[in-house]
Amino acid sequence: GAGVSQSPSNKVTEKGKDVELRCDPISGHTALYWYRQSLGQGLEFLIYFQGNSAPDKSGLPSDRFSAERTGGSVSTLTIQRTQQEDSAVYLCASSTGTGITGELFFGEGSRLTVL
């Protein structure tokens, strides 16, 4: 497709389980970002990839969160031993990644609910 694709769109899991969220960016976009939006909050930056490397992981809330990107394309965000406070909409965005941070193109998000 032409846009950023995320899966699953909805995920309900039990506390303590691991989850994987996938993002397929726009073809040719070298920069990829993960944000999350908790209830009543703004978009919280998690991690950023330029190609396959992650120059900025400063937003990852704990060591239970990790992300990888392979082939300069698809990215996976993994949350281990999920907690109820991890419940949020996880948004992926991509951009051309050149020069200053400009327009980001967002996917529809993956809504995670931890029971």
Partner 1 sequence: DQQVKQNSPSLSVQEGRISILNCDYTNSMFDYFLWYKKYPAEGPTFLISISSIKDKNEDGRFTVFLNKSAKHLSLHIVPSQPGDSAVYFCAASEGNTPLVFGKGTRLSVIA
43 binds partner 1 (CB under 8 A): yes
Comparing CB distances to partner 1, the nearer of 30 and 80 is: 30
Hey, is 73 helix, strand or coil?
coil
Residue 43 backbone dihedrals phi, psi, to 5 degrees: -85, 120
Comparing CB distances to partner 1, the nearer of 101 and 113 is: 101
Hey, is 28 helix, strand or coil?
coil
54 binds partner 1 (CB under 8 A): no
Question: Positive or negative, the Cα torsion across 34, 83, 89, 73?
Answer: positive
Give the footprint of partner 1 on this chain (CB under 8 A). Answer: 4, 33, 35, 40-45, 48, 56, 59, 91, 93, 99-109
